[in-house]
Structure 1
Amino acid sequence: MRRRARLRAAETAAAVLLLLVGAGCGSRLPESDFAHRSAPPASRRTEPVRVGILTSATSPVGGSAFTGPRDGARAYFDRLNARGGIDGRKVDVRTCDDGGSGVGNNECVHRLIDEDKVVALVATTALTYAGASRVSAAGVPDIGGQPIGAAYDTYPHLYGIYGSLAPRTGTPGWGGKVYGGTEVYRYFKREHGARTAAVVSYNQSASAAYASLVARGLKAEGYKVVTEQVDFALPNFRAAAADLKDQGADLVFDAIDTHGNAQLCRAMDEVGADVIAKVTNVQNWTSSVPEDYKDSPRCRNVLWATGSSRNADDTADPAVQEFRAATRGLKTHSQWQLEGWAAAMWFTDAARSCATDLTRACVDRFMSRGTPYTADGLLIPVGYERLAEPPRTRRTCLSVARWKDAEGWVAQGDMNATCFVVPQLPYQP
């Protein structure tokens, strides 16, 4: 099994043990009682399946920063309902915008779980997942959420889109530390001969901390690392671009937002900084690149993105074709939309496994069964384990794409074959 950003989870030993004990003891109940209990009332078999989508649709980092997974999941459920739903039951999607705050997040969790009584959360994308412990305590499976924080490596019943290896007993990762691999840096070194990498960040704590982690990973892979820090309020990207040019950077990584990236790229074009790749992440893997980077054509055409899902522009793939057809009406397409679509598919497969007994517990059993999941090939096989100790190394595969103005995002190789055994580095979330 492969993973990206810390994988695999869960076990059903307790449930299996209960089943074995029940079978050994037998029962004095009549056959008719069993028949009655296995078939819910007709109203229950036809009532809608209620799911929740919790999103920081409005937040301090921008109104559309986190809506991609929600839009992809909704598109999947709309198409599913048009085809009859789940075994004849339509999916009733309840959404909640937490505003990007912890208070708002707890309010959304309360509303969706306690008031709307959703059977599961799907494609959660929260800036501050303050209500994660409450979701877990209620036994509500959270399927295919984006791991912006450490919640998906902390609590049971939470299943991030990239999986987890952590024990998930209420403490992040192992002893408060989570682990990530160096596969992205290994890829550019082995496949493109990169040797010097620049890391650009703001003089802001979260940005600087992430930049430090990137720099550690690059150094572990033998890179010469050039760090560039700009003022958050008045960033001088031109000075940073000039310095990384002088230092001979082959790659540019960053810990800044989309707007800052566009400014950095513009500055790189202005000073003539030529690099192998300006590397971005899955959140910026969108069709809006021509608008976002309209003032930097050279930098724009060395934009590369890495992730764990099939390129949303790979329309030769049947599963991508279906996603693109269902989302044709959206203004832009993004990798996060595709991952939200995959999360909704994951829930649907879990719900179908329950037949007439569609409950939170049944969905959770499907999620924790230990079988890697691919969403019809849209995801690098992902699953969950609970390892007592963090792995020192991990075989990890990644999806890579490069932007070209005439073609959009172009996949670079087979994501299920672009794999490396890399060290796992700890960091404090």
Structure 2
Amino acid sequence: MKRSDNLLPGAPGRRRSRSPQGRRLRGLAVLVAGILLAVTACSNSSGKVADTSGTGASGGAQGTASGPGVTDSEIRFAMLGTKSNNPLGTCILDCFASGVNAYFAYRNSEGGVHGRKLVVSQTVDDQLGKNQQEALKIISANDTFGAFSAPLLATGFGAFAEAGVPLYGLPANASDMVGKESTFSSTGSFCIECTQTYWSYIAKLAGATKIAALGIGVAAPSKNCANGVVRSIETFGGKFGQKVVYMNDSLPYGLPNGAGPEVTAMKNAGVQLVIGCIDLNSMKTFSQEMERQGIGDVPMVHQNTYDQKFVAAGGDLFEGDYVLPRFRPFEADAGSSGLKTFSAWMKKTGSELTEYAMLGWIDADLAFQGIKAAGPSFTRASVIAATNKMTNYSADGLIDPIDWSRQHEPPTEADPVTHGYKQECITLVKVHNGRFEPVGDPKKPFICWPVTKERTWSEPTLTNFT
């Protein structure tokens, strides 16, 4: 029986078998955002917004809105992301696009915004290495108002920012958003290496005092994440007797030689919880090796495995593991949040409920809300300005609220307050019988702590942002 089974109500003990049978791999997107760091460096920008709204005007009751991609009947967006050559083998661009398109179908059924339909007029595969090249083509064509982007390598973000194009991306691209006031996602900029209360909290839930932290050496976000786990446990874990007894932030990408020596070291150290800041291919390798060495019951914490089909296909592989979604879990009580509307319109459009679909839905909502707030005579610049005045954006209760007036910059270890969230919140699910189950209260799925400069432990507050 796992230690976590003794602490979570309604979770009877089960021993898991880490079978290697057919599984679709899903990697940690934060990791890949750090690969080829020299390539991504070219996307850095001052973030100043150019007014490229143009002079053409739409007439009638819609107002005098102007800008590329704005007609009397439509507001057109480009979609750019990674589909082919994806080393993770995951559904990114298509799944992200399904959420955007479902949201647009929902709003268009109500008349759109300012008398115009919302339309994705082009979808472009950046083939992993051509994000900047394709971004420049979209900008040069000058026939879309804004863009949605779901890349693994966000090298085109700087070009969109320089052109003043409203851009809506992924949480994994947070480092590429920094300082760019026209670039948004379903999270604000964040500090992955900073102290977080939730690592110690999850260890407490699992009944673990001996913890392992894993990171990939060539990927800065992965490496920084692992060091953040160590810092967090050092800050808060003493109260519970917690200690990181094994830390490796220099793992080779893809684990070409397996994980035998690393798992042996973890076993010898008595590790009771493994926190992975690595891609899921590597998590799978560790899982199989842990089973082979007789410690398969040690739970793991995954940061990008919120995929029901993938988990179910794994049989008992992930039984008892924890997963961190980036939003209100599908398994939570919808209440009065936007979760019910999301689920309904994904079904109406024949699309699957996936993590990336929800991220696309949230981005599309932010685009809609920005245009709506800018008024009938909107331009690119006015939509960006209106969005940056939103100080409590929760996508109708789907995410921890963002203050876009100050969260284009990340918080720091020394100052988590000025550019940080008002509260440090996570959502957490646990795998039981091949399915996700919310940890805590399904009606209040956000597990939150106050953000203060004085880092002191407190029990979380279960929260609902509606």
TM-score normalized with structure 2 length: 0.70
SS of residue in 2 equivalent to 1:184: helix
Change (3 A) 1:41 1:153: closer
Separation of aligned partners in 2, 1:255 and 1:312: 23
The corresponding residue for 1:309 is 327
What pairs with 1:382-421 in structure 2 (closer than 5 Å)? Answer: 382-384=402-404, 385=406, 390=412, 391-394=414-417, 395-405=423-433, 407-413=435-441, 414-421=444-451
Partner of 2:101: 74
State which of 311, 321, 333 in structure 2 corresponds to 1:290: 311
Which of 186, 194, 209 is the matching residue for 1:161?
Answer: 186
What is the deviation of 1:356? 2.2
CA deviations 1:337-378 (Å, max 9, x no partner) are 212211111111112223321321121122110421011101
Query: Structure 1: how far apart are the matches of 2:262 and 2:280?
Result: 17
CA shift for structure 1 position 301: 1.4
Question: 1:199 Cα shift?
Answer: 2.2
Count of residue pairs brought into register by the alignment:
377
Match of 2:391 among 334, 353, 371: 371
The match for 1:99 is 127
Q: Distance in 1 between matches of 2:410 and 2:344?
A: 43
Measured after TM superposition, the shift of residue 212 of structure 1 is: 3.9
CA contact (8 A) 2:308 2:435 kept: no
Q: 1:205/1:97 Cα in 2 relative to 1: closer, same or farther (>3 Å)?
A: same
Secondary structure, aligned partner of 2:135: helix
- Are residue 300 (structure 1) and residue 328 (structure 2) matched? no
Matched-pair contact (CA < 8 Å) for 1:262–1:292: no
The partner residue of 2:369 within 349, 354, 358 is 349
- Matched residue of 1:361: which SS? helix
Secondary structure in 1 aligned to 2:128?
coil
Q: 1:396: how far off?
A: 0.9
What residue is the counterpart of 1:225 in the other structure? 245
Tell me the distance in 2 between the aligned counterparts of 1:199 and 1:212.
8
Q: Which amino acid aligns with 1:142?
A: L
Provide the C-alpha distance between the structure 2 equivalents of 1:164 and 1:95, rounded to a whole number of angstroms: 26
Pair 1:40-2:55 in alignment: no
> Counterpart of 1:121 in structure 2: which amino acid?
A
Alignment CA distance shift 1:325-1:140 (3 Å): same
Change (3 A) 1:266 1:179: closer
Cα offsets for 1:130-159 (capped at 9, x unmatched): 222221111122235333351112322112
Report the equivalent of 2:116. 89
**Paired residue secondary structure (1:180):** coil
Unmatched runs of 5 consecutive residues or more in structure 2: 1-29, 31-50, 52-58, 238-242, 418-422, 456-466
Amino acid at match of 1:85: G
What is the CA deviation profile of residues 161-217 of structure 1, one whole-angstrom value per residue up to 9, with x for unaligned ones? 21138xxxxxxx9xxxx8634133132245444322112345645555553444344
Query: What's the counterpart of residue 339 of structure 1?
Result: 359
2:354 and 2:453 map into 1 onto residues whose CA distance is 30
Q: Which amino acid aligns with 2:112?
A: G
Secondary structure of the equivalent of 2:194?
A: strand
1:258 Cα deviation (Å)? Answer: 2.0
Structure 2 distance, partners of 1:330, 1:269, is: 38
SS of the residue aligned with 2:246?
A: strand
Of the candidates 111, 127, 132, which is equivalent to residue 137 of structure 2? 111
Q: Distance in 1 between matches of 2:290 and 2:76?
A: 49
| 1:96 to 1:424, Cα distance in 2 relative to 1, 3 A | farther
Aligned residue among 268, 273, 287 for 1:265: 287
Q: Deviations over 1:369-423 (max 9, x none)?
A: 0421011101111123167984534541111111222643434343445325477
Distance in 1 separating the partners of 2:81 and 2:151: 5
Q: Which runs of 5+ in 1 are unaligned?
A: 6-14, 16-34, 166-172
Aligned counterpart in structure 1 of residue 211 of structure 2, from 184, 197, 204: 197
How big is each residue's C-alpha offset from its partner over 1:245-298, in whole Å with a ceiling of 9 and x where there is no partner? 3322222122332222223223333333255631111x321112335534xx1x
1:125/1:191 CA distance change after superposition, 3 Å: same
Instruction: Give the CA deviation at 1:236.
Output: 2.4
Point out the more displaced range, 399-408 or 413-422: 413-422
Q: Deviations over 1:81-120 (max 9, x none)?
A: 344322432222032221221xx11222123233153222
2:150 alignment partner in structure 1: 125
| 1:409/1:259 CA distance change after superposition, 3 Å | farther
Q: Post-superposition shift, 1:302? A: 1.8
Alignment correspondent of 1:186: 200
Alignment CA distance shift 1:37-1:349 (3 Å): closer
Structure 2 equivalent of residue 246 of structure 1 = 268
Change in Cα spacing, 1:353 to 1:264, as seen in structure 2 (3 Å) is same
Q: Is the 8 A contact 1:194 1:276 kept in 2?
A: no
Could you state the TM-score of these two structures normalised by the residue count of structure 1?
A: 0.75
Inter-CA distance 65–407: structure 2 relative to 1 (3 Å threshold): closer
- Which amino acid in structure 2 is aligned with residue 303 of structure 1? D
The answer to which structure has the higher helix fraction is 1
Q: What is the aligned counterpart of 2:226 among 207, 211, 219? A: 211
- Shifted more, 326-335 versus 377-386: the winner is 326-335
